[in-house]
Amino acid sequence: MRNPARTLYPKSYDTTRRLGFNDPGRKKTRRAFFMGLGSNFLYLQLLFLGLFCYVFGALFQQNGHIHNLGVVFVDYDGGAIGNAVRGAYASLESDTFITLVERPPSDFQTPADVADAVCKTRFWAGFYVAEGASDRLHDALQPDNAAASLAYDSTRVMSYVWNEALYPTAIDSAVSANIQLLATTARVAYSTGNGTGGVSSVSGPAALSVFANPWQLQSLDIQPTSQGSRAIYNTIVIILILIQEFFYLGTINGLYAQFKLYARIDPYRIIAVRVVASLAYTFIGSLCVIGTIFAFRANWDIDGSQFVLSWIALWLFAHVNFLTLDVFTIWVPPAFVPMVLISWIILNITSTLLPFDLSPAFYRLGYAMPAHEVYQVLIDVWSRGCNPQLHYALPVLFAWEVASLALSTLGVFRRCHFATIGAEREAHEFKERLDAAVAFQLALERKVEKKKSDRARRQGSVATAATGPESIIAVGTADRPVTEGDDEPEEKKQPETEGGQDATSSTTSDEESEVHDELAEIIHRINTRQQRETERAGGAANFGPSFNLPFSHGDGDDDGAQ
């Protein structure tokens, strides 16, 4: 059976251009290849090792930082239930448990004040015991008070306020679950300790039911966020937005490279077109992102005004990243652009994975990352103002926008500068090759003329020599009548003529080969020097990553304007 690879790609089996194993050129290439392979192998391994360590470091011993989450506790009751809560917290207090910060009722006169403190992010949650709860429970447990037992409402004992929209996956396990554990432990403490208020016996089904289940913890969630897609709002959504901007940036750079616009168009017009195109692209892209989030929000309570505000926030974030990535592609050497891109993505994502209270203090440098700031804005929008971080989140985003826009604008002038230098160099190189070809042609013509003149001089010398004694013989021979014997010299001359033609043809072929080799050597020498000059100048010229366009409309050879 015939090899299908040989059928599809027959030239891959052509060995005429293959270098031998011991070929000097192959040895040189092999050494350079493996040096490049090894160095880049090392760079990339170190880069990704560092990125993995950075991400896992942010999540390292997360449970050991739960004590940094403060929960305010207000005992409006001042009775046995509050004592049971204090006893339960004393048994649970550790680095892996929330910190209960008790405040007097004078600081928070009503449960609404507790909710307001949580809304303003002064605390991660608020936990309080309702006023008169201990007395109502005590009355319900009395054996001679069946009416109180039947009328007892276990939901009016203790409650907690929290905002699930604030890092929902983390706060569910770190805050809500621990408060529920605290309430359960307090129930045990109340049942086994002195918190029963002197009740020595309990009788009757109603009283026994109250004693078995003295309270039901009430959850007052400011913004319920239980839909499954909540897990990717601060991860995959951010990553896709960053990649989306990078791909369009590469597309724009590809267009400018294809149509060679940096050397043809005024820089101010290029700046205007790039800004308008990036604003339009990020405008539509952010609309698609927030539209998808809302389309799959399930029962999430979000209205139209929050949709618009979220759209604006994502638009700003997307444009900030477009400009920032453009700055990276301008000033960072092309070989390191992929490394910078993945590092930028990881730095941004790590800043949104967890609240900084659950990560080592080092990771607070994430406050400078645009992803962290836009996520704070989105939480504030989604929870209707219950994450008042706009006083620093928006300034950071706008600082990135202004700084990146300024550097990106300067980068356009830089690209135009080096594109013009490149165009001038190309014209100079073309002229240099043309001049070399013309000079070679003139030298060749002079060489041919010299050969012709030398041949003419030699022929003249032969003609001059013919005026000697030999000419008499030649004349006598010419005057003699032709006989049959004279045919033999003519026949002998014919082979000499054919041999002369073969010699002339061989000489011409050798001359053409010599001319070809000389011209090839000149062109190779010029190309080598020009390549070295281009490599020396290429370090400063960086037009950013560019992608081949899936849909092309012309090759850009014709002059035009934007």
User: What's residue 473's pLDDT?
Assistant: 45
Average pLDDT, the chain: 85
Q: Look at residues 361, 392, 425 and tell me which one is the last residue of a structural domain.
A: 425
Q: Are 67 and 358 in contact (CB under 8 A)?
A: no
Task: Tell me which residue has tokens 């003295």.
Answer: 214
Are 208 and 245 contained in the same domain? no
535 within a domain of the structure (yes/no): no
Task: Tell me which residue has tokens 């996520």.
Answer: 375
Are 289 and 142 contained in the same domain? no
517 within a domain of the structure (yes/no): no
Helix, coil or strand: residue 33: helix
User: What's residue 200's pLDDT?
Assistant: 62
Mean pLDDT of 43-51: 97
- Angle (CA) 136 138 139, round 5°: 65
pLDDT digits (tens, 9 = 90+) for 524-559: 777 777 666 665 655 555 666 666 666 666 655 554
Are 276 and 419 contained in the same domain? yes
**485 pLDDT band (50/70/90 cuts)?**
very low
44 within a domain of the structure (yes/no): no
User: What's residue 449's pLDDT?
Assistant: 84
User: What's residue 141's pLDDT?
Assistant: 86
Are 411 and 264 contained in the same domain? yes
Query: Does the structure show a pLDDT above 70 at 59?
Result: yes
Are 218 and 263 contained in the same domain? no
475 within a domain of the structure (yes/no): no
- DSSP letter at 73? E
**260 pLDDT band (50/70/90 cuts)?**
confident
User: What's residue 339's pLDDT?
Assistant: 94
Task: Find the CATH number of the domain harbouring 201.
Answer: 3.40.1710.10
Mean pLDDT of 116-145: 92
| Distance from the first to the final alpha carbon of the chain | 57
Are 209 and 251 contained in the same domain? no
Please state, in angstroms and rounded to a whole number, the distance separating the CA atoms of residues 480 and 488. Answer: 15
Q: Look at residues 168, 202, 222 and tell me which one is the last residue of a structural domain.
A: 222
- Is the whole model's pTM more than 0.85, yes or no? no
What is the three-state SS of 388-430? CCHHHHHHHHHHHHHHHHHHHHHHHHHHHHHHHHHHHHHHHHH
472 within a domain of the structure (yes/no): no
Around Cβ 481, how many Cβ atoms within 10 Å?
A: 5
Are 351 and 366 contained in the same domain? yes
Q: Are 220 and 115 in contact (CB under 8 A)?
A: yes
- Determine which of 35-39, 109-113, 133-137, 145-149 has the lowest per-residue pLDDT on average: 145-149
Task: Tell me which residue has tokens 């706009």.
Answer: 390
Q: Look at residues 180, 200, 222 and tell me which one is the last residue of a structural domain.
A: 222
- DSSP letter at 18? P
pLDDT digits (tens, 9 = 90+) for 166-194: 999 999 999 999 999 999 999 988 888 65
Task: Tell me which residue has tokens 């929960």.
Answer: 71
- Each as own residue / partner, the long-range contacts of residues 186-193 (CB below 8 Å, 24 or more positions apart, any chain) are 186/81, 186/84, 186/85, 186/87, 186/88, 186/158, 187/84, 187/214, 187/215, 188/88, 189/84, 189/85, 189/87, 189/88, 189/91, 190/80, 190/81, 190/84, 190/214, 193/83, 193/84, 193/87
Query: Does the structure show a pLDDT above 80 at 501?
Result: no
534 within a domain of the structure (yes/no): no
Query: Does the structure show a pLDDT above 80 at 350?
Result: yes
Q: Are 334 and 250 in contact (CB under 8 A)?
A: no
186 within a domain of the structure (yes/no): yes
Are 201 and 343 contained in the same domain? no
User: What's residue 556's pLDDT?
Assistant: 54
Query: Does the structure show a pLDDT above 50 at 335?
Result: yes
Beta-sheet pairing, 125-129 with 99-103: unpaired
Please state, in angstroms and rounded to a whole number, the distance separating the CA atoms of residues 290 and 347. Answer: 23
Query: Does the structure show a pLDDT above 90 at 123?
Result: yes
Q: Are 162 and 382 in contact (CB under 8 A)?
A: no
- Determine which of 54-68, 116-130, 453-467 has the lowest per-residue pLDDT on average: 453-467
Task: Tell me which residue has tokens 């539509």.
Answer: 284
Are 254 and 358 contained in the same domain? yes
Please state, in angstroms and rounded to a whole number, the distance separating the CA atoms of residues 393 and 380. Answer: 11
DSSP string, 457-492: HHHHHHHHHTTSHHHHHHHHHHHSPP-GGGHHHHHH
Please state, in angstroms and rounded to a whole number, the distance separating the CA atoms of residues 273 and 266. Answer: 11
Q: Are 100 and 182 in contact (CB under 8 A)?
A: yes
Are 301 and 206 contained in the same domain? no
Dihedral of alpha carbons 74, 80, 85, 87, sign: positive
441 within a domain of the structure (yes/no): no
Please name the residues in contact with 352: beta carbons below 8 A apart, sequence gap of 6 or more: 234, 235, 238, 366, 369, 371, 372, 375
Residue span of the structural domain in which 183 resides = 63-222
Are 399 and 355 contained in the same domain? yes
* Domains held by the chain: number: 2
Query: Does the structure show a pLDDT above 60 at 461?
Result: yes
Q: Are 252 and 262 in contact (CB under 8 A)?
A: no
Are 234 and 185 contained in the same domain? no
